[in-house]
Amino acid sequence: MTSLNRRHLLAAGAAALASPALAQQQGHEHHGPQYERLSQPGRIEKPPLAATQNVFDSPAPKAATPGRWSAKAPLPLPRSEMAWATAFEDKMHVVGGYGEQRTDRAYHHVYDGKADKWNDGAPLPQGANHVGVAFLDGKLFAIGGFLEQNRKPHPRCFTYDPKADRWADIAPLPRPAGSTAVVGLGGVLHVIGGAIGETTETKRSIDWHLVYDPKADRWSERRPMPTARDHTGTLAIGSLIHVIGGRVDSFHTNSNLHHSYDPAADKWTMRTPMPTGRSGHGAVLYRDKVFVMGGEGTNRVFGQMEAYDPKSDGWEQYAPMLTPRHGLGAALVGDAVHVAGGGPVMGGGVQSAVHEAFSLG
């Protein structure tokens, strides 16, 4: 029986806040094995390969207050490559992705920050991985995604009403795409970049910039992103949209590029690049700074937590993740950045249920 057929109310015991260095050496409290392979069922311990691929060093200057990580209630089951998460009213929503030996799951797990527990939401109408998600005016939107492992995108799009726990179809993408970045701003959804391709050999990044108007249920186009890429960290800061990092066709050619987009002028501007080029990372606006964590590269899974200050157009490094991961779900819940699931080793071969939170205290 899968998580979609039962209710999960998992609560984590209180975990003492520990320094990142101590946590990396000694581990931290967890609830049994939190990993599973895509190729075979059954929980496993953290793969030894993860230790050889973990990277924690950042070239950015250290912040005066590094912050701290703590363990939270694990996901109901190991998952990865949902690509992102989004939050509304102190609840984090994680949809789609890999899990239980498939890459087209319709999972919808909802984390209640006040209770530190997970519940099942109504499943996605179309199971997929690398689904673009964002909240706009109290509704959750799910855009596109891949039907197979990081390939074969579909165009279907949906909106979810948290009060009714129900999904509904909306106008599909003009062209199928997966691993897009989605931002709700000014009453519309901006869908930026992503990837297309029916096979691994034909997969490539795109520079598309589409806008969805919920009132008209209609798509239109805006000025394309300056450099085509996918698996980016993208979010709104005030009236601007920032697109940070990502990959150009493959994680072997990751980017540290950082652009902002002004919807009023339909204009892109170069910003200070991210110190660590990566893709499949999280990006969360927290206390007026963009905190970027996780991601992958060639034989690398990043633990760096780097933050961008839009006032100074500069970067600093903060306490690194306890458990480096990529293809994770990251969102702001309450006064902490929550990071759930993701792959502990390069590629999609292993999923995790690990859930940790970062706070400046």
Residue 26 lies in a domain: no
Residue 18 lies in a domain: no
Residue 206 lies in a domain: yes
Residue 258 lies in a domain: yes
Residue 36 lies in a domain: no
34-54 confidence digits (pLDDT tens)? 999 999 999 999 999 999 999
Q: How far apart are CA 55 and CA 300, in angstroms?
A: 7
Res. 9: pLDDT tops 80: no
Residue 15 lies in a domain: no
Domain count of the chain?
Answer: 1
Mean pLDDT (whole number) for 336-344: 98
Residue 16 lies in a domain: no
In which residue are the tokens 């694990």 written? 74
Residue 276 lies in a domain: yes
Q: Predicted confidence band at 245 (pLDDT cuts at 50, 70, 90)?
A: very high
Res. 147: pLDDT tops 70: yes
Q: How far apart are CA 173 and CA 210, in angstroms?
A: 9
User: What CATH number did the domain enclosing 97 receive?
Assistant: 2.120.10.80
Domain extent, residue 279, equals: 3-10+57-359
pLDDT of residue 31: 65
Q: How far apart are CA 310 and CA 303, in angstroms?
A: 22
Q: CA dist 121 to 9, 161, 196, 250, 255, Å?
A: 12, 10, 28, 32, 34
Q: How far apart are CA 234 and CA 121, in angstroms?
A: 24
66-98 confidence digits (pLDDT tens)? 999 999 999 999 999 997 899 999 999 999 999
Tell me the pairing of strands 300-302 and 54-55: parallel
Percent of the chain beyond pLDDT 90? Answer: 90
Mean pLDDT (whole number) for 205-232: 98
Q: Which of 16-30, 111-125, 170-184, 309-323 has the lowest mean pLDDT?
A: 16-30
